[in-house]
Structure 1
Amino acid sequence: MPGPDLQRRIGIDIGGTKIDAIVFDSKDQIIFEKRADTPRTYEAMVNAVAALVRDAGEGSVGIGAPGSAHPGTGIWRNANFTPANGKPMQRDLEAVIGRVIRIENDANCFALSEARDGAGAGFKTVAFYTLGTGLGGGLVVNGEIIRGANAEAAEFGHTGLPWMDEADWPPVPCFCGKAGCAEMYVSGTGLIKDYKRVVGQELSGPEIIAKARAGEPPAVAALKRLQIRFARICANLLNMVDPDVFVMGGGMSSLPELVEELPPLIARYTFSGEGQAKVVRAQHGGNSGVRGAARLWG
């Protein structure tokens, strides 16, 4: 296969409902953008990505996708786009696109984008959280993604919720087959589950937040539990890695409770009880993933 043209860098972000594409030129200016719906089948998804690459033109191809490749076999796993699981996704995409590609977990692409030229630029160690329907993450040190020996580093959503108390018990079952995963408490899904468990009524995340803003006590309490749980998750990472900055992305990162108000709560749970966490909101928002995919080639 031909080597990539690094003067033009194509980024593709495969999401649950849409696939985004951009092209950076040699001056890091975006010169192409396009979006397509995410098909329901694996084969259709591969063809949709290939069509976007053809429309984008010449250049290196970096792809961000939910899940990750097994470091030994290259088989894709743990994707919420379930048709991709068990497939050799890089090999299949390269065969249809006709170029060498780089493919990476979508949260890692988010983290790379924000570390390179976003809210984490200029910091050595950047921890990134995606707060949406689920809880994802990425870790970038000196501008490089930390993947780990098993390509499972920074799966923050599938660490156990730390320092569980009576409000967290019993551990909530997770789709991964375990119970007590952080994602089941701190995410849009977690907020909905928590409110229903305590109040007995199932509402959407936006409905719960609206009720909290209106001062409804059960909703205010649910949002506070979400905030404290996230502070504990961040403090747990601070105690292990002590990142220079926490960058928050995803739909729920718009909440001040999960960004501006978080540092003093994190401090309570650090080893010293006074650890200073710098918490900022992602600069590129929903575009971070596709920008980071393009930056997989530098």
Structure 2
Amino acid sequence: MRIGIDLGGTKTEVIALSNAGEELFRHRLPTPRDYQQTIENIAHLVSLAEKATGETGTVGIGIPGSISPYTGVVKNANSTWLNGQPFDKDLSRRLGREVRLANDANCMAVSEAVDGAAAGAQTVFAVIIGTGCGAGVAINGRVHTGGNGTAGEWGHNPLPWMNDDELRYRAEVPCYCGKQGCLETFISGTGFATDYRRLSGNTLTGVEIMRRIDEGDAQAKLAFSHYEQRLAKALAHVINILDPDVIVLAGGMSNVERLYETVPPLVKPWVFGGECETPIRKARHGDSSGVRGAAWLWPA
């Protein structure tokens, strides 16, 4: 049995999977904003899963950050109480077994590569376009973290091939990381809503903006046209570097079905040579991909 934990900013979820990938147990609890309490919360969830199934499992955990290969402690976590802590070692000690830990977006990539929208593909680039913007890489069904532990940190690269309006946007909308022009500011759901507010003066959610498109709102149509073009350029950049076999989209904006029709042809002109048939697919497991991928950090 494999146990996966998805440690989020507001909730922590556990799943237990059979070796065939069948869900045996699932539960979630609020995430405490304290390091030691977070460890105890995870230990409690693991205990619940093992009591419910009558089995002992391997444990994999997805976190909103990564372990530095140089210091062995967590870095870049927006759950800031984890930063600077030897989280995997402390959890392994508490649970009495080795724990495997990976970035939550990388867990999503593994989940979709193992038995999701990219099942069987060798190289998978999995994108999260929700409140923020991130990505993960899976190669042969395993996490690719890179030598610095930052593989897949796509959201904090600049939007490529910016036009004049995007250059103005970059100056007006700095990223929380302290830099300007990050993809997160353009192609997250938050970025989509920000662009609509720039154009219209109105503050709406992504869902509300999409509804305005159906009602003929010209600014909503323009904001979404911007979004499609920017997403296409950003994905073309990845294809020019990594050339993945499949790109998988997750997060709130991935639920806009129109993207799967409009974005692929928009990608082609930005790919070197103009040839690109890379499939862009919606995540099969949706919000469950992260916790399932954490369980799959342990191979059979």
Q: For this structure pair, what is the TM-score category when the shorter chain's length is used for normalisation?
A: over 0.9
Question: Is contact 1:260–1:279 with CA below 8 Å preserved after alignment?
Answer: no
* Equivalent residue in structure 1 for 2:10, among 11, 17, 22: 17
Normalised to the residue count of structure 1, the TM-score between the two structures is: 0.93
Instruction: Provide the rounded CA distance (Å) in 1 between the counterparts of 2:147 and 2:226.
Output: 34
List aligned pairs for 1:193-272, cutoff 5 A: 193-272=194-273
**Which AA in structure 2 matches 1:19?**
T
1:54: which partner in 2?
Answer: 47
Cα displacement (A) at 1:253: 0.5
Instruction: Provide the rounded CA distance (Å) in 1 between the counterparts of 2:290 and 2:73.
Output: 22
Identity %: 46
* Equivalent residue in structure 1 for 2:161, among 160, 163, 185: 163
Instruction: Provide the rounded CA distance (Å) in 1 between the counterparts of 2:22 and 2:195.
Output: 43
Question: Is contact 1:230–1:258 with CA below 8 Å preserved after alignment?
Answer: no
RMSD across aligned positions (CA): 1.4
Gaps of 5+ in 1: 1-7
For this pair of structures, how many residues does the alignment match? Answer: 291
Instruction: Provide the rounded CA distance (Å) in 2 between the counterparts of 1:161 and 1:257.
Output: 22
Normalised to the residue count of structure 2, the TM-score between the two structures is: 0.93
2:53: which partner in 1?
Answer: none
Deviates most, 268-277 or 230-239: 268-277
Change (3 A) 1:26 1:238: closer
List aligned pairs for 1:131-170, cutoff 5 A: 131-170=129-168
Question: Is contact 1:227–1:257 with CA below 8 Å preserved after alignment?
Answer: no
Instruction: Provide the rounded CA distance (Å) in 2 between the counterparts of 1:211 and 1:74.
Output: 48
Instruction: Provide the rounded CA distance (Å) in 1 between the counterparts of 2:36 and 2:207.
Output: 34
Question: Is contact 1:137–1:154 with CA below 8 Å preserved after alignment?
Answer: yes
Structure 1's consecutive aligned runs of 4 or more residues displaced over 4 angstroms after TM superposition are: none
Instruction: Provide the rounded CA distance (Å) in 2 between the counterparts of 1:207 and 1:29.
Output: 36
List aligned pairs for 1:46-125, cutoff 5 A: 46-57=39-50, 58-125=56-123
Instruction: Provide the rounded CA distance (Å) in 1 between the counterparts of 2:39 and 2:137.
Output: 28
CA deviation map 1:37-81 (0-9, x unaligned): 122222222221111011112211000010111112121111121
Query: In structure 1, the residue corresponding to 2:44 is in which secondary structure?
Result: helix
Deviates most, 41-50 or 153-162: 41-50
2:27: which partner in 1?
Answer: 34
Cα displacement (A) at 1:100: 1.5
Instruction: Provide the rounded CA distance (Å) in 1 between the counterparts of 2:49 and 2:198.
Output: 47
2:282: which partner in 1?
Answer: 281
Instruction: Provide the rounded CA distance (Å) in 1 between the counterparts of 2:94 and 2:141.
Output: 31
Cα displacement (A) at 1:293: 0.3
